[in-house]
Chain A
């Protein structure tokens, strides 16, 4: 299977240098959403790498997808852009863990 990226232009260059040919740059959240929809339908795509700030813009879409996904494909992972990580990054994981364990366990 292949990797695809939904990122800003700078990150797309980086991913291409790393050997991800399908590193797509998007301009706005509408474009990001459309691209995401088409990538999840593509059975060739095993991993979708998405810039955090773009992920925030289409959060509802990501959440719904992960909720409804059968099986594990595609795996979705969020990465920081050139400006650096966003503070909300860990919130989704934290929420799940808090619900599961009942206490804060992440460093």
Chain B
């Protein structure tokens, strides 16, 4: 008798589940904002605005030191010191504990070859290394500009839309005081974002005082980065430092 009742209830439940699942799937609309044709700026006029978007990133040989707070959905968090050196060819990065121990040290060459010279647990696995370098390049390196659309929306928002290999789209939204970068999957789902703020002007360059990286989804996380120092390096031997800034505590 119990078996029969179970069977009677199972079918409606299964139908209801499938209906809800299908509804949720159909209801999930694209996160990607539309760029009306009227907002698109012609290729001949888009260069100045595109340059404004590109100011989100830094050119040349520069070193950043940040405090980085990891936040996981579980509520766990940890704070480390991140060192990033960019020279246009390679990206070097190191993670240090607050106490000064080198937890992770790696270099990504222009050919996307990753050399890990030091990795302590729990950073001693390939998945972490590749994910970290993906985050670092996402934060510090401009997307490929082979296919760019530039739009000026009615609310005065500027969007530079970069169409990436594999169908991903990167939107850069610069303002006078900050920048936001959104990455969408080929299905239009927002998968990663960066927001910068608290710009500090040093020697004519605006350096973001804070950078927040958000990775969305079930395995999402947040990195809150606060600038400790920035050094523009003009010689390979690192002897000629143009400037130094000291940021406030996080």
The judgment on whether A and B are partners is no
Interface residues of B (CB under 8 A from A): none
